[in-house]
Structure 1
Amino acid sequence: MIRPLGPDDLDAYRALWLDGLRRVPEAFLLTEVEALGLSDATLIAKLAAGQFWGGFSEDVLVALIAMHQGGPERMRHMADIGPLYVHPSAQGLGYAKRLLQAVEQTARDRGLLQLELCVDATNSRAIELYRAAGFVEFGKRPRSVIVNGAARDDLLMIKMLDAT
């Protein structure tokens, strides 16, 4: 089941997010220390704002995605996606694809014109997923993040929702 996450999902969201940070730190912007420093109130506000969706197996959160719509008026036509994380026990079961579909439908319902994301340039599995979902590369950000002293490049990808 795929559904928006809300404040009642705080503990499950935090646990899965921290799991992802520990397993694949290069896939996330924040470090584990930074994530642990976020207050419950901060995360509850983000969950209440409708920025997160989850994939559930039975009643267990096994996948998550975030969509952050542009804040300033001139950027409200677009949203950034990420992070997207699927627990290893649920990989290959279609959660990532369904989460992307849910976020895209929400973006369309809100009248957004495009979705954008950054993905580690070495994450071929994620790049393949995004391409299959209709995203195209439009740039590369060298040294986008530095993880454990090593610079990582990001591919910038976009999906135009108003394209025919």
Structure 2
Amino acid sequence: MSDTITDTVIRRLSVDDVGVFRDIRLEALSCEPNSFASLHEDWINLSEQEWRQRLEQPVFVALLNEQPCGMMGLRFQKARKMMHRATLTSVYVRKPERGKGIASDLLGAVANHARELGMLQLELGVSAENSAAIRFYQRYGFEPVGRIPRGFRDNGMSSDEVLMLLPLEKTRE
């Protein structure tokens, strides 16, 4: 029997879900090292308290047959004049589960959560070399708004960072 999208549940992690968060985050950093600004070795030795602190900002997980297969988080601006903005972080779906709508479901849950909190826009940075991710974000209304030359640097290699934005305001008709 094949897995279907109906077997997928999206939910926000609580600090009690630190083990689930640790497992899926370390998996993401290990399996897709070029997709993240963080490195696996930056996260592997975090203390339990540091893992819990990272869950103070919202992190949503996709569970397929009760097993984590994807995640997406939000980071909020703290400066009062920027509090209407949220940044999409830690976007990951396991390769075998891609193309099943899981990333779309995660993005929907994250965007709805941000709207409920009064956010007016979602922002993200993605490597210019990650064309599949850029196409995904564009399908859901993200627009490129800038580019940082050499925004990512790893092992002596640089790639540009594409900055993208999704307005969350309700459109007026």
TM-score category of the 2 structures, normalised to the smaller one: over 0.9
Please give the per-residue CA displacement for 1:109-157, whole angstroms capped at 9, x wherever unaligned: 1111111000111111111110111100001111112122211211100
**Equivalent of 1:31 in 20, 34, 39:** 39
For residue 134 of structure 2, what is the aligned residue in structure 1? 127
Describe the SS at the equivalent of 1:106. helix
Letter of the 1:142 partner, please give it: P
Give the TM-score, by structure 2 length: 0.89
Describe the SS at the equivalent of 1:29. coil
Describe the SS at the equivalent of 1:159. strand
Shift in Å, 1:50: 4.5
For residue 12 of structure 1, what is the aligned residue in structure 2? 20
Describe the SS at the equivalent of 2:132. helix
Matches within 5 A, 1:36-115: 36-47=44-55, 49-115=56-122
Q: Which entry has the higher C-alpha Rg, 1 or 2?
A: 2
Describe the SS at the equivalent of 2:18. helix
8 Å CA contact retained: 2:125, 2:162: yes
CA distance in 1, matches of 2:151, 2:43: 19
Please give the per-residue CA displacement for 1:8-53, whole angstroms capped at 9, x wherever unaligned: 3222221221122122212111111111132211121232x24200
Letter of the 1:141 partner, please give it: I
Please give the per-residue CA displacement for 1:66-86, whole angstroms capped at 9, x wherever unaligned: 101111111111000012000
Give the TM-score, by structure 1 length: 0.94
* Higher alpha-carbon deviation: 108-117 or 11-20: 11-20
Shift in Å, 1:7: 2.0
Letter of the 1:37 partner, please give it: N
Letter of the 2:50 partner, please give it: T
Letter of the 1:131 partner, please give it: Q
Shift in Å, 1:2: 0.4
8 Å CA contact retained: 1:6, 1:50: no
Structure 1 outlier segments of 4+, above 2 Å = none
Q: Please, which runs of 5 or more residues in structure 1 have no aligned partner?
A: none
- Quote the RMSD (CA, aligned, Å): 1.3
Shift in Å, 1:107: 0.9
